Amino acid sequence: LKYFISGGAPLNPEIGSFFMALGVKLLQGYGQTEASPVISANRPGKIKIETVGPPVAGVEVRFADDGEILVRGDLLMKGYWRDDHSTAAAIRDGWLYTGDIGSCDDDGYITITGRKKEIIVNSGGENIVQSRVEALLTIEPEIEQALVDGDRRPWLAAVIVPSAEARATAASDEALKLLIAETVERANSRLSQIERVRRFIIADEGFTTENSQLTATLKVRRHIVKAQYQDRLAALYTRGKPD
C-alpha cells in the first residue's frame, strides 16, 4: 500500500497531519461529477496537506472575480439530462462554474475555502465560510454535529449535537452545556475573531435522514435545521452582545 486518496469532503488538516506522522501518505483531491470527476489531486512526491493539489493533466483552472473555481477540459460533462436551463447556468463559454470558492498558490496547488452557497455575510459585510467553522467544531470529540448560523448578524451562533461520549460524561444538562461551552472555546482558539461561535444551543436530537435533517448523502439540510430551531437561534441575539 503506497498511499491513500481522500475525496468527497474536505480533509481536516489535523487528520491529514496525523496520518503523515504515521508515515501514511494521504493525498487530498478535488472533483465533481460534472467533471468526470477528478479536477485536481496532490501528488505522492509533493504533498501540501491543506490543499487539493494541482489540476490533473488536461484540466485548466481559473478563478472568477469572486473566487469561484472555473474548470475547462475534455473531462466536462455535455450537460444535465433534459435540463438545458441548469446546463446553461453551470457551463458558460466552455467553463464549468463549480460553485466552490478557492485560491491557488505559486506552485499551482488549489485550496478550497468553501461553497458559494455556504458563505455567511455578517452584519459588517464580512464573508465567513460556514463549513470551515463547522469542521473545526466537529473535529472536537465532544461535538458530533454542528450547524453555524449568523447571516446578516453581528456574530455567529450554532446548533450543536453533543457526542455520545460527552453526554455520558456530563452528569446533568447544565454540566453538558458547560462541557460544550469549553469545547466551543477550544475550537474558537483556532478561528479568527469573526469566525468564532459566540453562543450556541444544544439540539434536541441528532441530524439524521429519518428526521429529514440529513440528505441521503449525509449532508446537513441547513434550511430544515434552521427552521426547527429558528426561535431558539433568534433568542441568542436578543440577550445583548456576548463577551
Residue range 78-100: average pLDDT? Answer: 97
What's the pLDDT band for 161 if we cut at 50, 70, 90?
very high
| d(C-alpha 109, C-alpha 234), whole Å | 40
Strands (DSSP E) contained in the chain are 4-6, 26-31, 38-41, 60-63, 68-72, 91-92, 95-104, 110-115, 119-121, 127-129, 143-149, 156-162, 197-202
Q: What percent of the chain has pLDDT over 90?
A: 89
**pLDDT tens digits along 19-61:** 999 999 999 999 999 999 999 999 999 999 999 999 999 999 9
For strand 156-162 and strand 197-202, is the pairing parallel, antiparallel, or unpaired? Answer: parallel
Q: What percent of the chain has pLDDT over 70?
A: 100
**pLDDT tens digits along 175-225:** 999 999 999 999 999 999 999 999 999 999 999 999 999 999 898 999 999
Whether the predicted pLDDT of 114 surpasses 90: no
| d(C-alpha 37, C-alpha 143), whole Å | 31
Domains and CATH numbers, the chain: 4-113 (2.30.38.10), 122-235 (3.30.300.30)
What's the pLDDT band for 243 if we cut at 50, 70, 90?
confident
The pLDDT assigned to 241 comes to 81
138, 132 in Cβ contact below 8 A?
no
